[in-house]
Structure 1
Amino acid sequence: MHEPVDLFTTQWRLLGGEVVLADAAVGWSHTIEDVLAGVIDPAFPTVVGFDTGDWPKDVPWSALCETIGARFYDRHDLDVLSRQEALQDIVAHASVGVTGAAWAAADTGTVALYASAQTSLSASLLPPTHVVLLPKRRIYATLAEGLRAVHAQGAVPHLVKLISGPSMTADIEGQLVVGVHGPRRVVTVIGDW
């Protein structure tokens, strides 16, 4: 049987997602800088990210994005903006949205994100590229195990969003279209943080 990380990687790629296995020896900052440099759109050099406390701690996001010619907005920056429209405009015009992952299911190649009154999932919905930061320890063998973990927490999150690759639909004349209702590209960075 496959290890959860290997199985998740296989399933996620089959669904059209990309995986980068981060190496602590290289450093999280270098790995994430390489990922962002490869997905940033120079026409819209903005990265938005909502750290829910599960990101690698040693990544200097603003400096890292500045190195690749981009501006980084985090939860604090966006909360300071006085108008809701300004926040939505920044997120909607960003090249990349970065989120953590609550957990993932290897058997289905699915990533779970949580939202509450204090957290937004807009970084996973509006930019054309979504980068997911996923700790290895949060990859469950099956979707059922992940859902049991939600239940075991006691307080169920306001919203659990399950993602299985880039946004796709084949509703229109059976033609597969990518990126209609969300990101066209989803990159999961897996590491031991």
Structure 2
Amino acid sequence: MSARDNILRRLRAAPQGQPPMAPDVAAFHAAVTAAAAPSTRASRIELFCDKMAFWHGEVIRVTRADWPQKLRELCVAKGVRSLLYGEDSAHAAQLEAASIDGLRPYDRPIDGWKKELFEDTDAGLSATRGGIAETGTLIVWPGASEPRLMSLVPPIHFALLDANQLYDTFFQAMIEQRWSDGMPTNALLVSGPSKTADIQVTLAYGAHGPKELIVLLLVNEEERP
């Protein structure tokens, strides 16, 4: 009998135990939530801003009416010559009406303009599916109107986040948005600009993605600082 056959024989002869019970994740999070201080919209906004700042991201509170104008001001201040956006996205019309210089739609396959995208595009704007206050994290689901490269390649990533879609925890976001009903092939959790500590364990930003992450947080007028 070979060593392989001997191992398989012993495995088959071993007593069969009961499979372990799956952890009750929902009960765990319910207990954690019950023990925590009550969450409010204001507390979620404050915590998200604090955590995003910890990860070297910037949060700017804007309203649904004035965010394009604020974005235009930011582009001027940062010397942005070209801003990539999805022309079929929900915010495209409002963005186009803001007369931002260098506005550029993502309107063709990557192979047709790879050099231009990687070398001549200063910033990209993308929507988000929500945010996680506990960790200062954006939820980004790329699609045909806003491909992944829009938030990965340009040195500056502008992200639109609706304060109505801020969740306390990752678990709450998954449950309330019903992620189990269907997810994209590429779901992203983004906390701050890109970073790595691969070289001598020294944290460096912008090594393999945006050097800056600026979140335009859509709030009510009275929630602005």
TM-score by length of structure 2 reads: 0.70
Q: 5 Å matches for 1:89-100?
A: 89-92=115-118, 93-100=120-127
Residue 40 of structure 1 pairs with residue 79 of structure 2: yes
| Structure with greater strand percent | 1
Structure with bigger helix share is 2
Q: Distance in 2 between matches of 1:13 and 1:51?
A: 30
Matched with 1:59 is 95
**Higher relative contact order (CA closer than 8 Å, sequence separation 6+):** 1
1:86 and 2:117 matched:
no
The residue aligned with 1:3 is 43
Aligned AA (1:73): R
**Which of 97, 107, 111 is residue 138 of structure 2 equivalent to?**
111
Paired residues in the alignment total: 179
CA change 1:21–1:49 in 2 (3 A) is: same
Q: Cα–Cα, structure 1 residues 173 and 22, in superposed 2: closer, same or farther, change >3 Å?
A: same
* CA displacement 1:133-169 (0-9 Å, x = unmatched): 1111111111111222454461211210110001111
Segments of 5+ residues of structure 2 without an aligned counterpart are 1-36, 221-225
| Residues 1:118 and 1:35: Cα distance change in structure 2 (over 3 Å) | closer
Q: Distance in 2 between matches of 1:99 and 1:56?
A: 10
**What's the counterpart of residue 176 of structure 1?**
203
Asked whether 1:18 is paired with 2:54, we answer no
Q: TM-score, normalised by structure 1?
A: 0.81
After superposition, the CA RMSD in angstroms is: 2.4
Letter in 2 for 1:72: L
CA 1:188–1:138 in structure 2 vs 1: closer, same or farther (change >3 Å)?
same
Distance in 2 separating the partners of 1:51 and 1:134: 18
